[in-house]
Chain A
Amino acid sequence: MATNHEPDVPANHNENRRTFLKQSSLLTALALVPGPVVSAAEAKLDERVAEAIEQIPLSLKVNGKKLKLKVEPRTTLLDLLRENLNLTGTKKGCDYGQCGACTVHVDGQRVNSCLSFAVMHEGQEITTIEGLADGDKLHPMQEAFVKHDGFQCGYCTPGQIMSAVACVREGHAGSEGEIREYMSGNICRCGAYTNIVAAIQDVKSGGQKV
C-alpha cells in the first residue's frame, strides 16, 4: 500500500520496477539467506527456542475485568484482544502503527495496540470500544458519532471513537484545527472526517463527562 509511512513508494510503477530489477541478481542471493529460525536451529539453539515459545503469565484488567492469562511473548496487545479475548471491536487496519484502527486506552492513554506486545502491559488497565458504554447507555462520543454520521463503512470507527474520547480528555479539542491535528493518527478511508470533527466538537461543547 502506497502510504508515505511506507517510505518512498514511488508513484511511477514502471520506473519502480525497472529500478528494482537492476538489483535482481542480488535479490536471488538474498532469497537463499536462511531465516532466523533456521539459523537458530543450526547454531544448536533448540533449547533457547523452546524457552522462547513458553507462555508467560500476564495479569491485566480489561474493560474493568481482572484477567489472569498466559500468553506467548510474540502476541501483540491487538491480537490478544481480538484472538484470545474475542474482543473484536478493536480493528486491525494496517498492523504497523499507520492507521489508528487498533486504538485502545492503556491506563487511560490512547495507544496503537498493534505495536506493543501484550506481555509489556503486566498490571495495566486496558479499555476497548466494548468497555466504553455504560451498560445499554452509549458513551456520549458514541452517540455523537451516530448523530453526526461520523462513519460510512465503520471499520475505522472504534479506533476513531477511542481516539476522540482521549482527544477531549487530553484537552486537545479546543478548535477544529486542533481536533484535526490531534485526530490525525486515525485514518478514515471513507473520508468521514468532516462529520467526525463535528461529533467531537458537539461532545466538547456539550460539556458532558467523557
Chain B
Amino acid sequence: MNQFQYVRATKPQAAIEAVAKDANARFIAGGTNLVDLMKRGVMTPQKLVDINRLDFRKIERQNNGLRIGALALNSTVADDKQVRERQPLLALALNAGASPQLRNMATVGGNMLQRTRCAYFYDVTMPCNKRQPGTGCGALEGINRMHAIFGFSDKCIAVHPSDMSVALVALDATVQVSGPKGNRSIPFADFHRLPGDTPEKDTNLEPGELITAVDVPDGPFTKHVHYQKVRERASYAFALLSVAAALDIENGTIKAARLAMGGVAHKPWRLTAAEQVLVGKPATEETFRQAATVAMQGAKSFKHNEYKLRLGPNAIVQALKTAAAA
C-alpha cells in the first residue's frame, strides 16, 4: 500500500478544507471500501482525513421526515425503530447488504460513495477508464456478466453496487452536503451520475464536498414494501440485480407506487414510467407484469449479461407481489 499522511478531523470545516485544497486527499469513514481499494492499489490517496469524530451520527425526526447522519452506521440505521416504522424499505435494503460485521463499520455516506465492483476496475493490470481514464474499458469486450443494461456508454458499462442507494432513490431522499462554497442539497436521483465520457466521476459531488446527512421524507410506504435481491448465494454477496418496491394499496387498488432497480446501471435506477403504470390499477400479477414490461424498455445486454433481460422483469414482479402481500 502507498504511504499516506493521516489526519483526524474534529470540525467539519477543517475536514472540508483539507480535502478541497489537496487533490490527493480523501475522507475516510468506515474504511470498508477505501481500505480495500488502497490495499489493491486501485486508490492511492496521499492523505486521509478521518471524519469519524464529526457529529454526524444521529438519526432525527425533522420536518416531515427523517434526517440520517452521514456517519450513522448501516447496522444502526437498519435497526433504528423510527427507520423500521417509517421507512421499512430502507431497513430491508441495508440488511441485504454485506455482512453484520461490515454493516457495523460501513457508514451511510460511505455506502453511497462505494465504488463499482467491476473486476477490471479492481485489477490494476487491466484497462479501465474509470480507474485510469483513457486506457479503455476492459469489460466492454471482456467479461461483462455483472454489468449494466441501462444508461451505459462506450466508455464504461459498470454498475453501482450499493443496496441502500436503491431504496433511497425510490424513497425520494435528499443528500445534504457541505463544501468549500457552503451547503447544498442534492436530490438522490441526481447524486450518482451516468458514465458518459467521464466514467471516473461516479457522482456529482464536487472536490472537498462532505456528505453530512440524508433526508428521507415521510410517505405512505410503511407496510407494502419489499427489497428483492438476486445473488449467487443466500447472503454476503453483491446483487446480480435487485428491486426496491413500495406500494400504497387501498381496497385492492394501488394509490401510489415506488420502484427502483440495482445492479443494472451506473447509478441506482428509478423506474418512474413503470410506477405510473401501477397507479390506479388493481394490485394483481397482471398489473405487475405490465409495469415490468414498461420498466425494461430500452434495456440492452452485452455478451455475458443477457440473463438480466429476463431476470429483471421477473424480479420486478416478484418484488411487487411480495410487497403487496406484506
Contacts and interface: CB of A to CB of B under 8 A. Distances in A.
Interface in B77-107: 98-102, 104-105
B100 A36 contact: no
Interface in A125-155: none
B285 to A, nearest CB: 27
A115 B43 CA distance: 14
B35 A117 contact: yes
How many interface residues does chain A have, given as a range? Answer: 35 or more
A52 B132 contact: no
B101 A30 contact: no
Contacts of A117: 6, 28, 31, 35, 48
A76 to B, nearest CB: 7
A166 B141 contact: no
B64 interface: no
B117 A7 contact: yes
A120 B118 contact: no
Interface in A1-46: 4-10, 16, 19-20, 22-23, 26-27, 29-31, 33, 35-37, 40, 45
Nearest to A109: B104
Given A6-B119, A7-B119, A119-B6, A27 B31 contact: no
B146 interface: yes
A184 B99 contact: yes
A31 B142 CA distance: 19
A8 B102 contact: no
Interface in B37-58: 39, 41, 44, 46, 48, 50, 52
B307 interface: no
A49 B50 contact: no
Most buried by A among B4, B101, B236, B238: B101
Nearest to A72: B3
A27 B125 contact: yes
Contacts of A74: 1, 3-4
Contacts, number: 160
Interface string B217-243: 000000000000001111111100000
A49 B47 CA distance: 10
B105 A30 contact: no
Interface string B136-159: 101001110110000000000000
A49 B233 CA distance: 43
A167 B100 contact: yes
A56 B7 CA distance: 10
A116 B100 contact: no
Contact of A110 (B41, B101, B119, B135): B101
A45 B22 CA distance: 13
A90 interface: no
Contacts of B46: 36, 40, 45, 48, 52
A122 to B, nearest CB: 7
A36 B118 CA distance: 22
A30 B100 contact: no
A112 B103 CA distance: 10
Contacts of B48: 73, 117
26 contacts: A4-B231, A4-B237, A10-B143, A10-B145, A20-B143, A23-B126, A23-B141, A27-B125, A30-B132, A35-B41, A36-B44, A37-B2, A52-B3, A52-B46, A73-B48, A74-B4, A97-B102, A109-B104, A111-B104, A116-B32, A119-B8, A166-B100, A167-B100, A181-B234, A182-B100, A185-B102
Interface of B: 1-6, 8, 28, 30-32, 35-36, 39, 41, 44, 46, 48, 50, 52, 75, 98-102, 104-105, 117-119, 122, 124-127, 132, 135-136, 138, 141-143, 145-146, 231-238, 304
Given A103-B101, A115-B30, A119-B6, 5 more contacts: A7-B119, A48-B46, A56-B6, A185-B98, A186-B99
